[in-house]
Amino acid sequence: MYTLVVASGVTKVTVNLPTETLAQARAITGKGITDTIIAGLEELEKRAHRSALRALRGKIRIDLDLTGTRR
């Protein structure tokens, strides 16, 4: 894999991807290659955050009046 920093906050990479996997991902997103890859990376980040939140389940005590908050 080759990596080149093109501009601040942007990294250019060269990767080998399975053609069919990329085609399916592009069909799902309806976007081009770069936007599809970005969407996949963002989804991985969201998944990691959700896992971290699930790990906190039962460890944080919250006293909340649901009836009062719904008004």
- pLDDT digit string (tens) for 1-37? 666 666 678 888 899 999 999 999 999 999 999 999 9
Provide CB contacts within 8 A for 5, sequence distance 6+.
11, 12
Model pLDDT, residue 3: 64
Model pLDDT, residue 63: 83
CB contact at 8 A, 17 and 3: no
What mean pLDDT comes out for the span 53-61? 88
What mean pLDDT comes out for the span 34-63? 93
Q: Which of 48, 29, 67 is nearest to 37 (CA)?
A: 29
Model pLDDT, residue 2: 64
Is 48 a residue whose pLDDT tops 70? yes
Helix (H) or strand (E) holding 34: helix 33-55
**Domain chopping of the chain, boundaries:** 16-54
